[in-house]
Structure 1
Amino acid sequence: MSRILAAALFAACIAPAFAAARTDTILIQGIAAGTQTVDAAVGSRVHAEYSYNDRGRGDHVVADWTLDDAGRPVTYEGRGNDYMKAPVEEHFAIVDGKASWRNRTEHGSAPAAGAFYMPANPPPEFLGVLARALLKAPGHRLALLPTGEATLEAHGIVRAGGRELRQYRVAGLDFTPQPIWLEGDGATGAIVSGWFSIVPEALAKSLEPLQAAQDETDNARSARLARELARTPKGGLLIRDARVFDPRDLGVSEHTSVLVRGERIVRIAPDAALQDAGDAEVLDAHGRFLMPGLWDNHQHFSEFDGLLDIANGVTSARDMANDTDGFLARVARFDDGSEIGPRVLKAGIIDGTGELAGPTKMRVDTAAEATKAVDWYADHGYAQIKIYSSIKPELMPVLAARAHERGLRVSGHVPAFMSARQFVEGGADELQHLNFVMLNFLYPGVKETRNRDRFIKVAEHAREFTPDRPEVREFIAFLKAHHTVLDPTMTIFENLFSADPEAIMPGLEAVAPRLPPQVRRSLYGNALPVPEGQEDAYRAAFPAMLALLKALHDAGVTIIPGTDALAGYQLHHELELYAKAGIAPAEVLRIATLVPAEVMGVARDRGVIAPGKYADMVLVDGDPTRDIADIRKVATVIKGGKLYDPMAIERAVGIAPRPGAR
């Protein structure tokens, strides 16, 4: 886009702000889930209400604010609840040039000095408020309160739904610039993504051109980063003097060399036996730890997850639910190298219908519809289906049988009104989330698990089901006998049951100070609110889940690690929790490398550093077989023979350097 056109777009939107009322539709995966109402017609005050339902969860925020002539907040008042239904109350005001703010996790003050206050839990409309203020700001740049800085770029005009909208990108809020569409008069036109969109009702069925324009912008940025951050050695790669970890026997070979040609490993030998590698580039490991690439078996890929995965040594992953168009294109870009990301295996979600159905268009009510959905996923290269909570129990065996006929694995949430035992007996190969194992012991007392009860009832009762109880021992033996795999996502439950709402999410304390400020703020206050009288039960819930995890592992139940949370960094903590449960660190590394490759049927190419395998490896500055926390010390990542510098990737997504880094 030319500078002249960009300047014209900026100038066009500095016009005085609109004064009108409107109602937007909240779309999750294209399905209406709530509304946002904005009323700017009451003097200088703006009033907004934002609410949506996502499987019984979802924000409900009522907010009022006033702005100065530059479009910056002078006052802000917000109240309601956050996604997990914890209370939200937020206050901001500028008095005599001093800005003061208070919310559940923050309070402070600072000279206003032309800065823009970004609330912790605002309605989506506030992104439009920020964009309009940036349009007026010198250099389209504003300091943010409590911390950070935002900038704005213009990316062209698109006509959709009978109106012209201008695409802008706000940088400084997330790992990647956030898109927003503005009307010609500066009014918020739409906030669009493949997962969650906020649009006027008139635009709800006209999002394709907006999404296509955003994709073009995103893809150009991704391709540029891939060119800048991925390096292919000329003539091959020879890694020398490495300590090579083998997950097959948990051994570590000292002073070992690994020769890579193209995307595969061709030879491994002691340093002295591999003296001449021809024209291969030499990477001296200086005695550091070299291991197979990590797996994250529970992700939902968006714009930045691939970058965060590679920066943290995750070279293989499994997506457990996504859209059925943009996601496929993203995986194709990962594969052809035009976007940085791991090798991804796809699991397609299928749910039933109703108010509490999951965020997917693939919803079925009949056996014919169930078969058609499975066939679609099989025809599009998926490896697995994920059955979700609103599936009718009688359809679950139909889905499983058809998936197995088509060569797909079967996993998921245990549907409501079924037990985990019934789910496995119906054909499930795998369970997502350890809470569904706990819920098996509460069945049939707890049958409705589409809502928050699937968390709350576990928090209330987990401590009662210790591994020595007969029904627990019997069910563990049942899972072992059925070769059931478990994707436990332990970090999710540590955060829900034992997090301090005024503290950073557990496991991210060290990395959080380096993250973009608004990302860092999102890591606070994600725990379930604890009902009065339930403090002891909630406090004991997560230790009880760790004890159950250890018992499952000791009995031989296959465990594979996944996060369902912040990519890369959260996986490291997931592995730390396995060690905290009592699993030996070297065994944890096997669980994170070889075991998922075997479960997913790709061990021929992945999971071990050996001749013929993909050159997917992680060089670690430490020894995670002794201290699993060393898994965080990723020095170099290799995927398919290409080299990646984790710190360079972090810089590209706005993450500050590691302490002591040069």
Structure 2
Amino acid sequence: MKYLMLAAALLAGTTAHAETVVITAARMLDVASGKLVEKPIIVAENGRITKVGRQGELVATDGKRIDLGDLTLVPGLIDMHVHLTSDPALGFEADLRHARPFFTAVGVANAARTLAAGFTTVRNVGSADFADVGLKQAIDEGVVRGPRIVPAAYALGATGGHCDDNRFPPGIQVDRSGVTSGPQGFREKVREMHKFGADVIKFCATGGVFSARDTVDGQQLTQEEMDALVDEAHRLRMKVAVHAHGTDGIKAAIRAGADTIEHASLADAEAFALAKAKGTAFSMDIYNDDYILAEGAKNGVPEESLAKERAIGLKQRQTFQAAWKAGVKMVFGSDAGVYPHGDNARQFPKMVEWGMTPIDAIRAATIKAAEALGREGDVGQIAPGRYADVIAVAGDPTRDVATLRDVKIVIKNGLLVKDAR
């Protein structure tokens, strides 16, 4: 019985509850204004924030008190590009050595690491076997601990493209559940992902670093295919994320109405103008080049992929800088799973190094990400009506964004799930 009680205690904090919670600390970052609020007080009920004010001015309702002393409160962070069921430490061809359900278990561990790092919401842009849908359900129902997940299920793509598997000769059968062709084929795949629980659609418009037998910049879907796919997703009220490194594929995806472009490595001035006109956001993973080039060979990444990364990494960072200067909407997307989960916040200093201010980088992972998800009424700010997702760090992240790499406190749905003071 004591083990059952311990398990219940460990899983506490994964779901909302009816208890009133009052959170206080020395400071709170108002991400909208970019200013620190001294001596804040937050009241939450049923997992959502009901009141925000200053201590002494706002009368606190009776409830459970969480006093965080000299720490600074920040909204729970949002990562728009993760792969929870992937882990680079397992090796590049881990899928050849493990039963497929193994990777769902990997996702459970990575979800816990991600939440502990202060990311209370993530968009999982592709996993086999609908594992991210199942993981979302397990978290939402309190079975395991993790962030709020917006799942894509299978990433969709063309035969022989980045979302296919080109490692094997004819005669060896692989899972091609996300692969199709033609406008109607992609409409059907969107409907299938929606049917089985996906909340966002992800498709591959160009080649990629970790795929075999393609060029990283080559366009892989026609304009007509992209148009049909995006139209069908939007008809079902789903957002669309597009893997696209190459210039032509990026622009075709924006013209189709994509909501976010992932990677966007070779976007040019015309792509920037199109993105601004359409309201498309860029989600650019500009930290993981460091990890791939330092650790990729040890993890078994083929030389073909390492050569692609060497060719694209610096260009992507330069594009990030140019896109930001041009006024393109930018959201935080790390591609965690290519590098270890829990290290998501390592990207913040890179964003500052390549042109953002600290508060710009923080907004990309809070209010801007929430807007791109279409969930700004739920996440992204410490404000009435939002989920009571709050993290706390020592110091001022608007001066040193690297403080977000050392999250002391994580509160999700008004429940304390990490206390590392």
Q: Which amino acid aligns with 2:45?
A: R
1:267 aligns with 2:97: no
Task: From 561, 565, 572, give the equivalent of 2:332.
Answer: 561
How far is the alpha carbon of 1:550 from its aligned partner? 2.2
Residue 637 of structure 1 is matched in structure 2 by: 410
1:537-576 to 2 correspondence within 5 Å? Answer: 538=310, 542-565=313-336, 566=339, 568-576=341-349
Q: Is the 8 A contact 1:491 1:570 kept in 2?
A: no
Match of 1:434 in 2: 264
The residue number in structure 1 matching 2:120 is 315
Alpha-carbon deviation of 1:227? 3.1
Match for residue 358 of structure 1 among 145, 156, 164: 164
Residue 317 of structure 2 is aligned to residue 487 of structure 1: no
SS at match of 2:128: coil
Shift of 1:552: 1.1
Counterpart in 1 of 2:386? 613
Q: Is the 8 A contact 1:434 1:489 kept in 2?
A: no
1:238-289 CA-partner distances (Å, limit 9, x unpaired) = 12233111111112100111112220112112111245432x2222222311
Distance 1:222 1:293 in 2: 29
User: Which structure 2 residues correspond to residues 211-610 of structure 1 after superposition, within 5 A?
Assistant: 227-228=9-10, 230-231=12-13, 235-274=19-58, 276-278=60-62, 280-301=63-84, 302-348=107-153, 349-354=155-160, 357-358=163-164, 360-388=176-204, 389=206, 392-393=221-222, 394-414=224-244, 418-435=248-265, 438=266, 472-496=268-292, 499-500=293-294, 538=310, 542-565=313-336, 566=339, 568-610=341-383
CA contact (8 A) 2:124 2:132 kept: no
| 3-state secondary structure, aligned to 1:569 | coil
Q: TM-score, normalised by structure 1?
A: 0.51
Structure 1, unmatched stretches of 5+, are 1-220, 441-471, 506-520, 648-660
Deviation at 1:548, TM superposition (A): 2.4
Asked if 1 retains the 8 angstrom alpha-carbon contact of 2:11 and 2:142, the reply is no
Per-residue deviation, residues 334-392 of structure 1 (Å, max 9, x unmatched): 11111101111122411222486525512212433222111122334433211124854
Return the index of the structure with the highest Cα Rg.
Answer: 1
Mapped to 2, the partners of 1:317 and 1:375 lie a distance apart of 22
Determine helix, strand or coil for the equivalent of 1:425: helix
Change in Cα spacing, 1:621 to 1:422, as seen in structure 2 (3 Å) is same
| Offset of residue 542 of structure 1 | 4.4
* TM-fit CA distance, 1:556: 1.9
Instruction: Give the Cα separation in 2 of the matches to 1:595 and 1:368.
Output: 33
SS in structure 1 of the partner of residue 32 of structure 2: coil
Distance 1:367 1:617, change over 3 A: same
Identity of aligned residues (%): 24
For the aligned residue pairs, the C-alpha RMSD in angstroms reads: 3.3
Preserved contact between residue 294 and residue 313 of structure 1 (Cα < 8 Å): yes
Q: Tell me, yes or no, if the aligned pair for 1:229 and 1:645 is still in contact at 8 Å.
A: no
287 and 320 in structure 1: CA distance in 2 versus 1, 3 angstrom threshold = same
Q: Determine the C-alpha separation between the residues in 2 that align with 1:286 and 1:277.
A: 19
Q: How does 1:101-120 map to 2 (within 5 A)?
A: none
Higher helix share: 2
CA gap of 1:495–1:526, structure 2 versus 1, over 3 A, is farther
For residues 354 and 552 of structure 1, do their structure 2 counterparts lie closer, same or farther at Cα, with a shift above 3 Å needed? closer
Paired residue type of 1:409: K
**Alpha-carbon displacement from aligned partner over 1:83-113 (angstroms, at most 9, x marks no partner):** xxxxxxxxxxxxxxxxxxxxxxxxxxxxxxx
Match of 1:209 in 2: none
Q: 1:555 to 1:527 in 2, by over 3 A?
A: farther
Q: TM-score, length-normalised on structure 2?
A: 0.77
> How many pairs align?
368
